[in-house]
Amino acid sequence: MHYAIIGCIHGNSEALKAVLADIRQRQVERIVCLGDVVGYGPDPIDCLRLVKESCFISIKGDHDAAILEGTSGFIKKTALGLEWTKRQIDADESLAGFLEEARDTFSSAGISFCHGSPRSPHEYLFPRDVKNDPRKIAAAFNLVDKVCFVTHTHVPGVIVSEPLGWLDAHAIDGYFHYTKGTKAIVNVGSVGQPRDGDPRACYLEIKKNEMRWRRVEYDVGRVVNRLASIEALSSDLAIRLQKGR
């Protein structure tokens, strides 16, 4: 199977359109979305429609869930943006229904797809946790058969089980070969809110056991201008987009 995994789009339709165009050019057969289609960005409706049309599996992220369940637990500026996002989505019942129908997780043949971790869509598996909190990583691996794909931290790379370690996608030249008999938790990065110091959109392409992180240029300036026109969206989001942080 030749497929692509996307996640953490966060209402950035410019980035999503660029990624989908790149995926089509590579003749990828299927696309999986790991959630957080909305939140932060100025174009939640466009992003939801594109994911609905393009992806054969959609996982629900914590920002997606907040549209349905409320913003308790989010910091004030993020909650304000999510409330603005909800008002846009409420005008289209089909898109609200699409979010409701999104899966919490999906597993097949030892491969699992989650938003945050195998334990919770809200749990972050940070690279530093490999050294600082190995018990948390071990608990996550207890729920992994072969490979689990996540996106929540927006940082592309792989946590491998034996020996326990973090492989940063940049450090391994954007390529990872999965070896049978091992376990891996693979972060696919973020389409619309990269936080690894590279502002280009990021997604994962997979052919059999070979995985490649793809980086795609898009018009960041256009998204920055859109953000500036919407009072409910935090002004520091534009800076983060430009820096990839």
Mean pLDDT, range 183-201, rounded to an integer: 96
Quick one: pLDDT at residue 236?
Answer: 82
Angle at 195 between CA 46 and CA 24, to 5 degrees: 45
How many other CB atoms sit within 10 Å of the CB of residue 238? 18
Least confident of 21-35, 51-65, 82-96: 82-96
Tell me which residue of 135, 121, 112, 12 sits closest to 57, measured CA to CA: 112
* pLDDT at residue 73, as a whole number: 86
DSSP helix/strand/coil, 168? strand
Q: What is the average pLDDT score of the chain?
A: 93
Q: Where are the domains of the chain?
A: 2-243
Q: What is the pLDDT of residue 242?
A: 87
- Please give the pLDDT value at position 118: 92
Four-point Cα dihedral 6, 38, 54, 26, nearest 10: -30
Q: What's the pLDDT at 234?
A: 77
Question: Does the pLDDT of residue 216 top 90, yes or no?
Answer: yes
More confident call, 244 vs 136: 136
- Residue 71 pLDDT class (50, 70, 90 cuts): very high
**CA–CA gap between residue 33 and residue 102 (Å, rounded):** 10
Q: What local confidence, expressed as pLDDT, does residue 208 receive?
A: 87
**Residue position matching structure tokens 């993020």:** 78
- State pLDDT tens for residues 134-147: 999 999 999 999 99
* H or E segment to which residue 78 belongs: helix 76-89
Cα torsion 34, 60, 132, 141: sign: negative
CA distance 53 to 90: 19
Which pLDDT value is given to residue 231? Answer: 85
pLDDT of residue 178: 92
Q: Give the model's pLDDT for residue 243.
A: 86
Q: Percent of the chain beyond pLDDT 70?
A: 100
pLDDT in tens, 1-56: 799 999 999 999 999 999 999 999 999 999 999 999 999 999 999 999 999 999 99
Q: Angle at CA 212, nearest 5°, toward 189 and 193?
A: 20
Residue 187 banded pLDDT, cuts 50, 70, 90 = very high
Using the predicted structure, report yes or no on whether residue 244 has a pLDDT greater than 80. no
pLDDT of residue 213: 98
Q: What is the pLDDT of residue 70?
A: 92
Percentage of the chain modeled with pLDDT above 90: 80
The CATH fold assigned to 2-243 is Purple Acid Phosphatase; chain A, domain 2 (3.60.21)
Asked whether the beta carbons of 184 and 167 are under 8 A apart, the reply is: no
Stretch among 43-47, 78-82, 87-91, 219-223 having the lowest mean pLDDT:
87-91
Rounded CA gap, 172 and 176, in Å?
Answer: 7
Return the pLDDT at 162: 84
CA distance 194 to 188: 11
What is the predicted pLDDT for the residue at 92? 82
